[in-house]
């Protein structure tokens, strides 16, 4: 049974990787927030401890997952953004190369500037803010220095349920749970939802076939924040009682002040050309996600 060291897997994406890989691999899963029984402690910014744990475990794969994902936090704490999102990635590359094992790094659709409506795997990134820049610098270091790697770019994440999902779906669900009868949602931001469990399962496919490289990895069906919110309300059977009100990004300018591209829609061209794309339509995934993690949540 192959061994995988997973660093920074205490969040919503880590839950999916543990779910998908735990039955077929021996895992050592770490995070600075030990919030599940299958996690142990590591702050991967501690370079020496990161190296000690990985070298002691002698994994066959190294998954570097964690990051500061709040754009506003990264704008307000620039040094910490790079100390967390970039420098430990360089350490992970050196560890993977030292052990001669493949490295998985998670990048983001946010590294593009939105000047195009869609982006394939070979389009040139141009990050707008410090979150995107810190992630892109990690991506570049992996591509330029790792011997074997997967760099997988995710879109608008959804997964893990109310305890760990800090993204768009949970924010809407929390408003509904609090009794909101109107959701104000921006209609000028375009992107691609990404179900965490589909994402992790797609990584497993690539690893099993040793298809190393850089991939856009999002669900099928490009869309907007507003369209996702409308579908969510419909899927919950609440279209008659909940109004989804379109607003511009200016409406949330104080709360969400970090620069965001008008479009971060990813096209999974490389997965499609290789004939290995297992990512499903985002609507199918959202239906499954709601049934799995939100049954009775609004009761």
pLDDT in tens, 224-255: 999 999 999 999 999 999 999 999 999 999 99
pLDDT band at 188 (very low <50, low <70, confident <90, very high): very high
80 within 8 A of 45, measured Cβ to Cβ? no
49 within 8 A of 13, measured Cβ to Cβ? no
Calculate mean pLDDT across residues 14-26.
97
pLDDT band at 222 (very low <50, low <70, confident <90, very high): confident
pLDDT in tens, 249-259: 999 999 999 99
Chain-wide mean pLDDT for the chain?
A: 97
Position 226 scores a pLDDT of 96
Listed as own residue / partner, the contacts of 210-214 with beta carbons closer than 8 Å and 24 or more positions apart are 211/274, 211/276, 212/102, 212/148, 212/149, 212/150, 213/149, 213/150, 213/151, 213/270, 214/107, 214/121, 214/139, 214/143, 214/150, 214/151, 214/152, 214/153, 214/270
Residue 1, pLDDT > 90, answer: no
Residue 86, pLDDT > 90, answer: yes
Query: Helices (DSSP H) in 77-153: which residue ranges?
Result: 78-85, 87-99, 130-145
What domains lie within the chain, and their CATH numbers?
A: 3-160+194-221+264-280 (3.40.50.720)
pLDDT band at 273 (very low <50, low <70, confident <90, very high): very high
Q: Is the pTM of this model over 0.85?
A: yes
Tokens 């690893």, located at residue: 207
- Which percentage of the chain shows pLDDT scores above 90? 99
H or E stretch at 273: helix 269-274
Q: What are the distances in angstroms from CA 7 to CA 25, 54, 65?
A: 15, 9, 6
Residue 209, pLDDT > 90, answer: yes
């Amino acid at each position: 049974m192959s061994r995988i060291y997973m660093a920074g897997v205490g969040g919503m994406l880590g839950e999916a990787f543990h779910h998908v890989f735990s039955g077929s691999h021996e895992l050592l899963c770490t995070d600075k927030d030990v919030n599940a029984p299958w996690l142990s402690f590591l702050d991967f910014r501690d370079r020496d401890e990161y190296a000690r744990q990985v070298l002691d475990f002698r994994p066959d794969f190294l998954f570097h997952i964690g990051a500061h994902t709040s754009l506003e936090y990264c704008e307000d704490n620039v040094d910490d953004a790079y100390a967390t999102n970039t420098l430990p990635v360089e350490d992970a590359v050196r560890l993977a190369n030292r052990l001669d094992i493949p490295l998985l790094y998670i990048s983001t659709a946010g590294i593009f500037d939105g000047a195009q409506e869609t982006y394939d795997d070979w389009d040139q990134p141009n990050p707008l803010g410090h979150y995107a820049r810190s992630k892109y610098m990690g991506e570049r270091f992996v591509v330029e220095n790792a011997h074997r790697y997967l760099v997988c770019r995710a879109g608008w994440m959804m997964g893990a349920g109310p305890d760990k999902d800090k993204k768009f779906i949970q924010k809407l669900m929390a408003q509904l749970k609090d009794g909101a009868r109107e959701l104000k949602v921006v209609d000028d931001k375009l992107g691609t939802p990404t179900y965490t469990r589909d994402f992790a399962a797609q990584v497993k496919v690539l690893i099993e076939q040793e298809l190393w490289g850089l991939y856009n990895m999002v669900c099928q069906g490009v869309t907007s924040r507003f369209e996702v919110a409308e579908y969510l309300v419909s899927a919950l059977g609440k279209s008659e009682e909940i109004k989804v009100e379109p607003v511009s990004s200016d409406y949330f300018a104080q709360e969400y002040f970090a620069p965001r591209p008008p479009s971060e829609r990813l096209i999974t061209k490389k997965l499609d050309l290789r004939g290995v794309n297992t990512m499903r339509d985002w609507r199918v995934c959202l239906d499954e996600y709601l049934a799995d993690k939100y049954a009775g949540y609004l009761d």
